[in-house]
A = this chain, B = another copy of it.
Amino acid sequence: MRSDVRHGVRNGVRPSGGSRKSQEIFDATLDLLAEKGYEGLTVEGVAQRSGVNKTTIYRWWRSKGALLGAALTGARRLDLEPSDTGSLEGDLEALLRSIVTLLTAPPASDIAVATLGAVTHSPDLAVRVREFFADRLAREQPVFDRAMARGELTADVDPMHLVDLLAGVAWLCVVLRQQPIEKDFVSRAVSTVLRGAGAAG
């Protein structure tokens, strides 16, 4: 798989997000977004910073919107790897903890907040952010499939509703209110949301 990816790059085919080169392009894209906002982000700037030819980047992503979309979903820096702790409660606590880390530890936090600040000024960026959230939710799906298999969740519970509540309270408290996160922030939010969803805590 990895060698296929490298072949792809050599042949001028768009590299998978896993290749080192594409990670460098993604990092440059996100750094520029954090520093200059969406208006200040240009493919030329990304080319300069990543050391990859501008026309090469354009061959892989036909617009800066497409490039940013790929960077948001593909950059390792913004990864939220779902955990398998053996319980839904443990898995969601791990998820919420990694969201809080993403929103508080630079450089990911700068990127997250810059994206947010820019999202309402650009319908193009808004589409990319929607794709980002959809992609992250899809990656979390196994957490909910396992919970269903263990009988912790009933089929009528909408995983997206639970994740929205958890991610929402993290954004509000960490980014907007910028309050110090209390020791029981994660466990309390997860237990409220799980109990609210009628899940067996």
In this assembly, does A62 line the interface, its C-beta being within 8 Å of a C-beta of chain B?
A: no
Footprint of B on A, CB under 8 Å?
Answer: 110, 113, 116-120, 126, 129-130, 133, 161, 164-165, 167-173, 175-179, 188-189, 191-198
Separation in Å of the A51 CB from the closest CB of chain B? 29
Hey, which chain B residues are within 8 Å of A133, CB to CB? 176-177
- Cβ contacts under 8 Å, A129 to chain B: 176-178
A200 to B4, CA, bound (A): 58
Nearest B-chain residue to A168, judged by Cβ: B168
A173 to B162, CA, bound (A): 12
Which of A168, A191, A194 neighbours the largest number of chain B CB atoms within 10 Å of its CB?
Answer: A168
Distance between Cα atoms of A133 and B164 in the complex (Å)? 20
Report the nearest B residue to A193, measured CB to CB: B196
Kindly report which residue of chain B lies nearest to residue A165, judged by CB atoms: B169
Shortest Cβ distance from A193 into chain B, in angstroms? Answer: 6
With beta carbons under 8 angstroms apart, the residue of B116, B119, B177, B197 that contacts A192 is B197
What are 19 A-to-B residue pairs whose CB atoms are below 8 Å? A110-B120, A113-B120, A117-B118, A119-B175, A119-B176, A120-B178, A129-B178, A130-B179, A133-B176, A161-B189, A164-B173, A165-B168, A165-B189, A167-B168, A167-B172, A168-B169, A168-B171, A168-B172, A171-B176
Cα distance A117–B113 in the bound complex, in angstroms: 7
